[in-house]
A and B are shown apart, each in its own frame.
Chain A
Amino acid sequence: MLAVPGRHRSLTLLTFVLVAQVLLIAAQIRSDEHQVRLIRVWAVGTVTPFGRAGTWIVSKIRGTWSGYFALVHTERENQDLKEEMDRLRIRNTQLESEAAEGQRLATLLGFRDTHREAPMLPARVIESSADSSSRVIYINRGERDGIRRNMPVITADGVVGKIFEVFGGASEVLLITDKDSGVGALLAGTRVQGPIGGTGEPFVQMKYVSDDETVTVGQQVLTSGEDRIFPKDLPVGTVTEVKPGSPFKQIRVKPAAHLNSLEEVMVLLTMQESITSSKPASTASDAASGGASSTAAPVKRDR
């Protein structure tokens, strides 16, 4: 038998291991990526109990801190709060008039009524990805709770992402900032549509908006419903930077949801179907904004 010199043994092993892994990646590209799902189910199943335990410990520590140690500062806080309350009373008067106007608009757009009827499931974020190149989180709700792939995940502030993988007691959420993420979106006011794509950075980009369109910094970006995943008119973010391009503008959007500090999220248990069907005011919303908008898209439950 041919003897391999000692110093070449590690090089031979290195070559073998690298080739084996390249073939493994090639196999995943050629076939359905769900062939490796079993490995991920095992890995996530192994790790999530630790994530749950960690979340529980952190919440207990926080509870202890706020319930006991933070009382040391209560007297000072009390004084600050009294001053704050005086300021807020004045501010409240101003806001009441604005709120009344907002209430009327919300009713007109049917937005609030729409979301009241959409069943939601609160979930706690238990982990993020060990893979630093992707933007995913894991939540403590899974198949047993009725979670399915592609369900929208939101917070009160805006869109968070969608369910990407479902496990028994946990789910993987693809954040809108992930490079592979996409959301059908439009600019509030002008109703100009363009998909939102993740960049892997804390911001997202709005694509395919013609250079002829007028886009201003500070403009709100809402979901369009065209992606057949997210219901219409959920806040996606705010335009923070607009650069001319050829033929499309380069638009940077700051997500409305605080994606870097997510601890609790809501999963919309219905797909777009029930939300749009219970939304007679959607046409009113379009009419109110004065622009053409997308029509309700049919339900698509799988990617």
Chain B
Amino acid sequence: MAAYARTEQHIEVHKFHLWAVVSVAVAALLIQSFLPVYFPRARLLDLPLLITLYFGFSQRNPSSGLLMGMMIGLMQDSLGRSAIGLYGIVKTLVGYLASSFGSRIDVEHPLSRIGLTAAFYLFHQGVFNLIQRVLLGQHEVFFNSTLGIAAGVNALVAVLLFPLLDRLRLPS
């Protein structure tokens, strides 16, 4: 994760301590497992996705973004019932694309964070359902009102969460 500044495009690449990245990812998975027990509506949240997006947007390195997405996705698979690799594939793609977007457009502004997070959430669910359909023969609806609400909720949480995670950035 080399730190450098692409001054010609005014896009800054941010660095993080490895322990911070790992801790945040693990904490997201733990909270994702624990929170719905007491707050059922927390099921709408996909914290591992938000973490994948955040580090993808910040690090802006497609290789590290996709590897991080893969690790988070595989851990999510291992804590659920889906075939191991299902979330892995989706979050690999999300990590890759988020990193690519992060290096091209401004992802620091709250409005762009809201829009991108909602769009990535719907993309994530769409690809997840597509893989389920193609590889596992399970037919799921591609869009319904719950998905729309969940996309909005995740986008709003992202706007609150990302500034907190910004504090973990190493000074450039």
Decide if B43 touches A44 in the complex (CB within 8 Å).
no
Q: How far is the CA of A133 from the CA of B79 in the complex (A)?
A: 12
Q: Which of B55-112 contact A (CB under 8 A)?
A: 61-63, 66-67, 70, 74-89, 92-93, 96
Specify which of A9, A128, A131, A178 is in contact with B37 (CB 8 Å cutoff).
Answer: A128
In the complex, what's the smallest C-beta–C-beta distance from A257 to chain B, in angstroms? Answer: 13
| A187-222 interface code vs B (CB 8 A; 1 in, 0 out) | 000000000000011000000000000000000000
Q: How far is the CA of A40 from the CA of B80 in the complex (A)?
A: 8
Decide if A43 touches B81 in the complex (CB within 8 Å).
no
B62 — nearest CB in chain A belongs to which residue?
A10
In the complex, what's the smallest C-beta–C-beta distance from A225 to chain B, in angstroms? Answer: 26
Interface window among A23-31, A73-81, A112-120: A23-31
A12 — nearest CB in chain B belongs to which residue?
B63
Decide if B82 touches A134 in the complex (CB within 8 Å).
yes
Specify which of B48, B61, B89, B128 is in contact with A21 (CB 8 Å cutoff).
Answer: B89
Decide if B37 touches A43 in the complex (CB within 8 Å).
no
Q: Which of B37, B38, B86, B135 has the most CB of A within 10 A?
A: B37
Q: How far is the CA of A50 from the CA of B32 in the complex (A)?
A: 12
**Any B CB within 8 A of the CB of A103:** no
B28 — nearest CB in chain A belongs to which residue?
A130
**Any A CB within 8 A of the CB of B160:** no
Decide if A134 touches B76 in the complex (CB within 8 Å).
no
**Any A CB within 8 A of the CB of B151:** no
Q: Which of A39, A126, A127 has the most CB of B within 10 A?
A: A127
Decide if A179 touches B138 in the complex (CB within 8 Å).
yes
Specify which of A22, A43, A54, A58 is in contact with B89 (CB 8 Å cutoff).
Answer: A22
Decide if A18 touches B86 in the complex (CB within 8 Å).
no
Known contacts A13-B66, A261-B40; decide if A130 and B32 are in contact (CB<8 Å): yes
Q: Which residues from B are CB-within-8-Å of A261?
A: 40
- Excluding A134-B82, A200-B140, 20 further A-B contacts by CB distance (< 8 Å) are A13-B63, A14-B62, A18-B89, A21-B89, A22-B135, A24-B88, A40-B78, A43-B79, A47-B30, A50-B30, A125-B37, A130-B32, A131-B77, A131-B80, A133-B82, A136-B80, A136-B81, A178-B81, A201-B146, A263-B37
Q: Which 6 A-B pairs have the closest CB atoms?
A: A131-B80, A260-B40, A43-B78, A10-B62, A130-B79, A21-B85
